[in-house]
Amino acid sequence: MANKSVWSDNRFWQRSAAWVTGFAAVLLIWLTFDTMGQISMGTDADLQSGVTKRVPGPTVINYKISYEMSTKRGLEVPVIGEKEKFFGRDDYSEKEARALLHLGKLGSQAKNCMNCHTLLGNGAYYAPDLTKAWLDPAWQDGGTMQAMTGKSTKEEAMAEFLQHPSTYPTHSRMMPNLGITAEEAKGLVAFLKHMSSIDTNGFPRNFGRMQGAVNGK
């Protein structure tokens, strides 16, 4: 047995494989616990007292959201500013806002958005990324998409487009009609607004090159 080296011993490698796998799995589970704490959704109280959460609570739809360069972190972060009307109201209760977000998230899956668009950069590449769609200049006052739908606010413009996408062809590649109702469209816009408030570590970079936004104003 003098010539037998541990490096050519199957049992040694079998045990090594088991240890390495176990160690990596334990580390992943430990990191998952930490991450779960950091990505749990915030509450209305957090928003009112200005506590920054990576994923704010659903009532973030009552506020103005902007995307600004943080000199401290060296990347762009969503900034939640003053109150802003959403479909004419800025006083959605936690329950109402959660119901809208629930409807919107269900809608995003039921309408299979992800097999054309990307959400947080994941999905298909046939249509624009929706991560910060709420902040897209095209939907703002004076933006091309808002003007096209003839609506006076961006949430109404987005909801109108979602209900009748092929009525508003922007390019030869069009969004098909997915049978989205007015209520579902409202939920989807709430879902998009909420998504734009998520801290995505600066993705996408230079979004829309938004000029002049300071402190959510």
Q: Which is nearer to another protein, 86 or 132 (CB)?
A: 132
- For residues 155 and 188, what is the distance between their CA atoms, to the nearest angstrom? 10
Q: Pattern 26-65, binding to another protein, x per CB under 8 A?
A: -xx--xx-xx--xx-x------------xx--x-------
Nearer Cβ to another protein, position 137 or 216?
Answer: 137
- CA angle 64/62/191 to nearest 5° reads 90
Q: Judged by CB under 8 A, which of 60, 157, 159, 195 binds another protein? A: 195
DSSP label at 59?
G
Stretch that binds another protein, among 44-52, 86-94, 146-154, 193-201 (CB under 8 A): 193-201
Count Cβ atoms within 10 A of the Cβ of residue 192 and give its class: 0-12 exposed, 13-18 middle, 19 or more buried.
Answer: buried
Minimum Å gap between C-beta 75 and another protein is 9
Q: Give the nearer residue to another protein in terms of CB position, either 49 or 171.
A: 171
**How many CB atoms sit inside 10 A of residue 190's CB?**
30
Q: Report the distance separating Cα 207 and Cα 139, nearest Å.
A: 14
State the minimum distance, in angstroms, from the CB of residue 171 to another protein.
5
The verdict on 93 binding another protein (CB under 8 A) reads no
59, 62, 66, 118: which one binds another protein (CB under 8 A): 118
- 176: CB partners within 8 A, 6+ apart: 165, 166
Cβ(68)–Cβ(211) below 8 Å = no
Q: Pick out residues in 126-185 that bind another protein (CB under 8 A).
A: 126-129, 131-133, 136-139, 144-145, 166, 170-174, 176-179, 181, 184
